[in-house]
Structure 1
């Protein structure tokens, strides 16, 4: 089993948080005017949609390399639908354009990436989440 750890801390002088994994960072905040948000970074729903689309973009590259296919243009769009109070993700729709370097379609690459995409498959199957109070 592989475990990935990320850390988040408040950003001094704001009500935003800075998250990091290794040497990569990201700012998390609420929209300006909402619960002290200043719009300094992505909100949770945006991060969830980015995780889904970003993971799929990476998997297109992994799969293409395994298949010996050189990719050209990739364009991924994710629409995450939220509902309820508290808001929950109801559905996610991802639209994928992926072309080989010669401009031909890469349907086989897309289909294989669907099979192996960790975030898409994890969300589709449900992920156990626990939240515990730190001592």
Structure 2
């Protein structure tokens, strides 16, 4: 799980995000505690807490006093919306800029995408 060059707390947050997105951690379900995350990844609980707090700040997790952290209602949609926006920023915008440099129309780009999609299993 640990990746060089990326802060551990970010990796922890992304792992929880992935569980919410793939449905293995459902909305309303109790999320792993900071101590559980710290023990599992063999990291400092403060580091795990920093990752969890990123998710709380974004409305993905909610704290229930005395009960722990839970996946917020609507968390999956929040994550999908954020990821779609990042996808557009990181992939579509540069692709469209390059297509414009090549003199391609949007319709030509769409057709190329369709052709490529048919080749992938």
Highest CA radius of gyration, 1 or 2?
Answer: 2
TM-score for the superposition, normalised by structure 1: 0.29
Greater share of strand residues, 1 or 2? 1
The structure, 1 or 2, with the larger RCO (C-alpha pairs under 8 Å, 6+ apart) is 2
Greater share of helix residues, 1 or 2? 2
TM-score for the superposition, normalised by structure 2: 0.31
